[in-house]
Structure 1
C-alpha cells in the first residue's frame, strides 16, 4: 500500500517534519511505500486565485500545480496530514493546499441543479496535529471538537473521504518530543492494518 504524507511547516528541522519522517519509517518498516509532499519546500502557492474560482465554477481546468497534487493523492491509498496547530486550526499553507487541490469536479461535484456528489469515498485520511497547548486547554475551550467539526466533517466528510485516525499531540513545546515521535512511528506501522 502507498501513503502520501503531506507536511506543512517551513522549517525542515521542526518537530512537525520529524513526525512526518517517523510516520514514513513506520510505513517502510511495515512494508509499505510513501511519498512526502513538503508544501513549504516545493513552494506550493496556497492562494485561492481567480483561476481557482474559475475551476470551482467549472469554467476552466485546474492549473498544473493543482493537477500534480491531485495525481499524488490519486496514487495513494491513504493521505496523512502532519501539521502544527496555528490559532486552533491548520496553517494557512495546508488550508490553501486543501482549498485549491480539493476542487469542485475532482473532490466533489456541486452544481445548483444536482445533488452534491462526494467523489473521494475511496480516500482514507489520517491527521496528525501538533499542538503547543496542553490537552486540557484544547478540551476546556472546545478547540478539539471545533477542529474535528471544521477539518474532519467540514472538509473530508464533505468530499466523502474517511478520516480513519485523528491525533492531536499536545504539549509540543514542553513535553519530550520522543513521546510524539513514538506515536507517529506507531501510526505509520499500523496505518494499513
Structure 2
C-alpha cells in the first residue's frame, strides 16, 4: 500500500514526530511505501488564497499553488495524519491542508442539483489519524463528544472517499504523560501499523 503520511507539528523533535517515525518504520518494514509530508518542513502555506476561494464553485478550482501536494494525495492508497489536538481541533496548518488540498475536483465534486458533495478520492482506502490531546479521555469523549474524530470520520473521510477504513489512535492527557506511557503509546501505534 502507498501511504501519504501528513505530519503537522512545528517542532522537529516533538512526540508527534516520534510517532510518525515509528509508524513509517513499521509500515515500510511490512512492505508499504510511505510518502512523508511534513507540512512545516515543506513550508506549506495554510491560508486559502483569493484565487482558490474565487474558483471554489467555478468550473475548475485553481489548484496551481498546491498541485504538488494534490498529486501526492491522488497517488496514495491510504492517508495517515499525525498531529496534536489543540483546543479540541486540528493545528491550523492541518486545517489549511484540508481547505486547500481537499478541494473541488480533487477530493469531491459539487452536486449542483442536490447540494450534496460527491466523493472523488476513491483511491483512498485507509484513513488513519495518530494524535495526542492534552485533555484526559473523559473530557475529550464525555464532555466534548470527541469532535476531531467526528470531523475526520463523518466529515472528511466519509464525504471524500467511498468504502474507506477509518482508524484513530489517541494519546490522552499528553501534558502529564510519563515516559512509560509515551513508550506504550508508540508500541500501540507500531502494533496497529503492523496490521496494515
Q: Could you tell me the TM-score, scaled by structure 2's length?
A: 0.89
Which stretch shows the higher mean deviation, 11-20 or 149-158? 149-158
Question: Does the 8 Å contact 1:24/1:185 carry over to 2?
Answer: no
Corresponding position of 2:174: 172
Tell me the distance in 1 between the aligned counterparts of 2:15 and 2:108.
Answer: 33
Q: Say which SS state the counterpart of residue 176 (structure 2) adopts.
A: coil
Tell me the distance in 2 between the aligned counterparts of 1:32 and 1:118.
Answer: 25
Q: CA deviation at 1:135?
A: 1.0
Q: Say which SS state the counterpart of residue 55 (structure 2) adopts.
A: helix
Question: Does the 8 Å contact 1:70/1:101 carry over to 2?
Answer: yes
Corresponding position of 1:67: 67
Q: CA deviation at 1:163?
A: 4.4
Question: Does the 8 Å contact 1:88/1:147 carry over to 2?
Answer: yes
Q: CA deviation at 1:61?
A: 4.5
Tell me the distance in 2 between the aligned counterparts of 1:190 and 1:109.
Answer: 32
Q: CA deviation at 1:139?
A: 1.9
Which stretch shows the higher mean deviation, 12-21 or 135-144? 135-144
Q: CA RMSD in A?
A: 1.8
Q: Say which SS state the counterpart of residue 64 (structure 1) adopts.
A: coil
Q: CA deviation at 1:137?
A: 1.8
Corresponding position of 2:121: 120
Superposed CA deviations along residues 39-61 of structure 1, whole A, max 9, x for unmatched, are: 01111000012111133122555
In structure 1, the gaps of 5 or more residues are none
Tell me the distance in 2 between the aligned counterparts of 1:105 and 1:61.
Answer: 7
Corresponding position of 2:150: 149
Question: Does the 8 Å contact 2:61/2:103 carry over to 1?
Answer: no
Q: CA deviation at 1:143?
A: 3.5
Tell me the distance in 1 between the aligned counterparts of 2:69 and 2:55.
Answer: 15
Tell me the distance in 2 between the aligned counterparts of 1:88 and 1:44.
Answer: 22
Q: CA deviation at 1:182?
A: 1.2
- Assess, with a 3 A threshold, how the Cα gap between structure 1 residues 132 and 4 changes in structure 2: closer, same or farther: same
Question: Does the 8 Å contact 2:84/2:91 carry over to 1?
Answer: yes
Question: Does the 8 Å contact 1:54/1:60 carry over to 2?
Answer: no
- Assess, with a 3 A threshold, how the Cα gap between structure 1 residues 140 and 125 changes in structure 2: closer, same or farther: same
Tell me the distance in 1 between the aligned counterparts of 2:172 and 2:135.
Answer: 6
Q: Say which SS state the counterpart of residue 5 (structure 1) adopts.
A: strand
Q: Using CA pairs below 8 Å that are at least 6 residues apart, which structure has the higher relative contact order? A: 1
Question: Does the 8 Å contact 2:119/2:160 carry over to 1?
Answer: yes
In structure 2, the gaps of 5 or more residues are none
